[in-house]
Amino acid sequence: MTAAVQPIPIAFCITELDRGGAERAFTRLILGLDRTKWLPRVFCLGPHGYFADLLTAGNVSVECFGARGMASFPRLLWQLTGSLRSFRPRLLQSFLFHGNIAGRIAGRMAGVPVIVSGIRVAERRSPWYGRLDRWTNGLVNHNVCVSQGVADFAIHETKLRAGKISVIPNGVDFPLFRDASAADRSLLALRPADPVVITVGRLEPQKGIVHFLDAAAIVLGKVPNCQFLIVGDGPDRASLEAIAMERGIASSVTFTGPRSDIPALLKASDLFVLASLWEGMPNALLEAMAAGLPVVATAVEGSREIVSSDVNGLLVEPRNAADLANAIVRLLNSPDDRTRFSAAAQQTISKDFTDESSVTAYERLYSRLLNL
């Protein structure tokens, strides 16, 4: 009698599991793996977060270390190394900057045979991020970038070896967003008959929300009944709400805070805007296009690979509120363009950016690296 083949233990290390696009993509990847072949276990540097519950409900073991700040980093490395030694994975996949650094070091200390790092953004916060990434990348067998733009940045700016890099775009649960029902606008204090422009993301400088608000002020001078919906939370929320007050547009702008009903909110809107200063492969943009919204995005890494301007959306240069406003006004005043971009956007997502295609690509990479 042939013995049953045991699934291969594989570890995933991530900075945190709170609500966020990267954390959502991470969770979808793990829940999509073939459990007859892979035995995933998640190690989270931070405290127990929203996606930890979803992973646990999907029968994935999750260990959260509750680390906060660099002062706890030595203890965190010791704990993570011990947990990896106990689990004995054949491969470790890390996500997000701090998860990458900790995963690389602890993985090597624990003797994990294959270490894969996920590089999700063209990291521009500080040159030290790039240097630390480069210094520790010698511990890595392979890197996965979420877009060709991020891969190019990693090669030319961070100076990583091109031969150690693969590009696997994020995927999206296409039927979930395509088939969602619209949220009730009245519950969001939105007027039912007037246009709604939505943006979704963490409220921090990278996402360019201040430029979104500046554009909103210009748009309201031309389309005074327009409404703006800002979905998400983050360290800049109070200052952004103050800016909306200073611009005299607070009555037309709704800050929802974190929400779990993103598909319904997108379906209740007329137009999606992503004003980011830099990106990797923006999940919010993928989800908006899957929902069939016409989109305006800044021409940064990732977004340029999703949106073909004047084909399935519009691209504008980052930090340019006037151009952003002009693109928004154009689409608000052109039902034909909105209809055309909506259909083309959904075709783009269904063809190239589904969860299934992303998971399949990761599984093929893991099999190749493990010589299966």
The secondary structure of 205-255 as a DSSP string is GGG-HHHHHHHHHHHHHHSTT-EEEEEB--TTHHHHHHHHHHTT-GGGEEE
pLDDT 10s digits, 12-42: 999 999 988 889 899 999 999 999 999 999 9
Domains 8-171+354-369 and 174-352 share a fold: yes
Burial of 203 (0-12, 13-18, 19+ CB in 10 A): buried
To the nearest 10 degrees (0 to 180), the angle between helices 321-332 and 209-222 is 50
**Side chain identity at residue 354, one-letter code:** T
Burial of 9 (0-12, 13-18, 19+ CB in 10 A): middle
pLDDT 10s digits, 274-333: 999 999 899 999 999 999 999 999 999 899 999 999 999 999 999 999 999 999 999 999
> Please, are residues 199 and 275 in contact by the beta-carbon 8 Å criterion?
yes
CATH topology for 174-352 is: Rossmann fold (3.40.50)
Q: Retrieve residue 272's tokens.
A: 């999606």
The 8-class DSSP code of residue 333 comes to: T
CA torsion angle for 56, 97, 275, 145 (degrees, to 10)?
A: -90
Domain boundaries, the chain: 8-171+354-369, 174-352
Q: Global pTM?
A: 0.89
**CATH number for the domain running over 8-171+354-369:** 3.40.50.2000
Residue 207 has pLDDT above 80, yes or no: yes
What is the average pLDDT across 215-239?
97
CA atoms of 269 and 271, how far apart (whole Å): 6
CA torsion angle for 268, 17, 203, 297 (degrees, to 10)?
A: -60
pLDDT at position 55 is 98
Cα→Cα distances 29→21, 23, 358, Å: 12, 10, 7
pLDDT 10s digits, 115-131: 999 998 766 666 777 78
pLDDT 10s digits, 60-81: 999 999 987 767 888 999 999 9
CA atoms of 152 and 148, how far apart (whole Å): 6
What φ, ψ does residue 237 adopt, rounded to 5°?
A: -60, -50
**Ramachandran category for residue 196: left, alpha or beta (phi over 0 → left; psi -120 to 50 → alpha):** beta
The secondary structure of 261-291 as a DSSP string is -HHHHHHT-SEEEE--SS-SS-HHHHHHHHT
Give me the chain's average pLDDT, please.
94
